[in-house]
Amino acid sequence: MISEQEKPLISVIILNYNAGDLLINCVNSVFKTNYKNYEVIVIDNVSTDNSHRKCKERFENIQLIENLENFGYCEGNNIGIRKAKGEFVVILNPDTIVDPNWLDEFLKAYSKFGDGLYQPKILSLYEKDVLQSTGNMMHLFGFGFARDKGIIDKKQSKKIEKIGYASGTCLFTSSKVLKKIGLLDPFLFLYHDDLDLGWRAAQIGINSYFVPNVIILHAESYILKWSSKKFYWLERNRKYCLLTHFSKDTYKKMRFSLLLVDFLVWIFYISKGFVGAKIKAEIDINKNRKHIEEKYFELESKKIIHDYELIKNFPDKIFVPKNVTKGNINNFFNSILEKLSKKAKAKIFQKN
């Protein structure tokens, strides 16, 4: 039997920004973990609510890193990853509660499926029978979405399965996998960072997996919620991913469909009163064309799985939560999106 000391060290990285008691509750749940060989690293992005220091006072064993500026989700977590000593790494949001068996179950999954990015079943912190994600999926036009969000959990998924990408809410992997993929992209700052990471992983043959036996509770978007600011980051980073991940040949074949999708996105943002966020996203993408081009060539040089191999597994529909759009708008948007996706895929696959 393997002793606790012989088990691999797991580094649990928690990035904090004004999470208040959510952070305390999260760390408290981590310290109730049955698996014993782990370290907890809390990185704080200049919180004003003193939550990070209260956490350190209560849990002396955590490593606290206090940033001098707000580096965002990506670089904030990267600082923790660089500090981590574990053979395995977990990126965990501060507004979560973990199950005592979570690390054991993640390790079991990793031992079976090997190098990959793993996510748990995510349930609502406030409605514990409501699903938030049974795996995240990526769409041809750069939309990322959580599968089964808002559905009552009836243990529909019982097996570990391949997914589009692992949610950054709780992402488990090994240090060696992160060295292969690279860390989170600081340009993204926050949102679609996990989609980008999963996409980069898939391009070099590293899959993402959903592990139903790992269960966590999540408050979700405790800072920005469904705000104009959040929609700005989502749209800016969606376009960034499209321009950096698809080859120029793939992008060219999709161009007409992308223009139509962009028209739909404009309608959506206008309907939500977020037109300013859309304009700001467009300006920022144009302003950073040089950086985007450099990132594109970097990713193309590493790519070993062709676009069309990955695209085969992209769903044609996306799931939009009910609190974002009304049913009729969602159905209209999805029906057109599905047709455009199928049409674009047919063009991409023509000569392949």
Distance of CA 235 to the CA centre of its chain: 15
Distance of CA 192 to the CA centre of its chain: 6
Amino acid letter, residue 213: N
Give the pLDDT confidence score for residue 170 in this predicted structure: 98
Q: Is the distance from CB of 264 to CB of 337 less than 8 angstroms?
A: yes
Q: What is the pLDDT of residues 166-201, one digit of tens each?
A: 999 999 999 999 999 999 999 999 999 999 999 999
pLDDT band at 210 (very low <50, low <70, confident <90, very high): very high
Give the pLDDT confidence score for residue 140 in this predicted structure: 97
Q: What is the mean pLDDT of the chain?
A: 93
Instruction: Enter the tokens of residue 46.
Output: 């200049």
Three-class SS of 16-61: ECCCCHHHHHHHHHHCCCCCCCEEEEEEECCCCCCHHHHHHHHCCC
| Range 34-38, long-range pairs (CB < 8 A, 24+ positions) | 34/100, 34/101, 34/103, 34/104, 35/7, 35/10, 35/103, 35/104, 35/107, 36/4, 36/7, 37/4, 37/5, 37/7, 37/8, 37/9, 37/10, 38/9, 38/10, 38/11, 38/12, 38/86, 38/103
CA dist 271 and 273 (Å) reads 6
CA dist 347 and 254 (Å) reads 8
pLDDT band at 6 (very low <50, low <70, confident <90, very high): confident
Q: What is the pLDDT of residues 234-285, one digit of tens each?
A: 999 999 999 999 999 999 999 999 999 999 999 989 988 999 999 999 999 9
Instruction: Enter the tokens of residue 311.
Output: 């695209």
Say what angle helices 248-272 and 228-245 make with each other, to 10 degrees: 170
- Taking alpha carbons only, the member of 57, 76, 53, 62 closest to residue 27 is 62
Classified as helix, coil or strand, 212 is strand
pLDDT band at 224 (very low <50, low <70, confident <90, very high): low
What length does the chain have? 352
State percent of the chain over pLDDT 90.
86
pLDDT band at 227 (very low <50, low <70, confident <90, very high): confident
Q: What is the pLDDT of residues 319-341, one digit of tens each?
A: 766 655 555 667 778 889 999 99
Q: What is the radius of gyration, based on Cα positions, of the chain?
A: 20
